[in-house]
Amino acid sequence: TSVPGIFAVGDINTYPGKKKLILSGFHEAALAAFGVQAHLNPGKKQFLQYTTTSPVMQKRLGVG
């Protein structure tokens, strides 16, 4: 959104070229999650881990 600290995902979210697909919602959710992290921790580098390759994430999920 145009309001700092307020994030929108899904049908409520509008922008030029938006496709009304569930896939768009997943993409918006990922962008919102990164936006929240950046908002709460300004200037801090974001670290991305994949559950399929990260031993740390697999251990946290109880699958590694």
State the Rg of the chain over Cα: 15
CA distance 64 to 41: 29
pTM, two decimal places? 0.71
Residue range 21-59, pLDDT digits in tens: 999 999 999 999 999 999 999 999 988 878 888 888 889
Which pLDDT belongs to residue 1?
Answer: 79
In which band, very low, low, confident or very high, does the pLDDT at 11 lie, cut at 50, 70 and 90?
A: very high
d(CA 37, CA 21): 25
**Which residue in this structure is represented by tokens 């959104």?**
1
The pLDDT of residue 9 is 94
- Asked if 50 and 57 count as a contact pair (C-beta separation under 8 A), the reply is yes
Q: Is the pLDDT of residue 64 over 80?
A: no
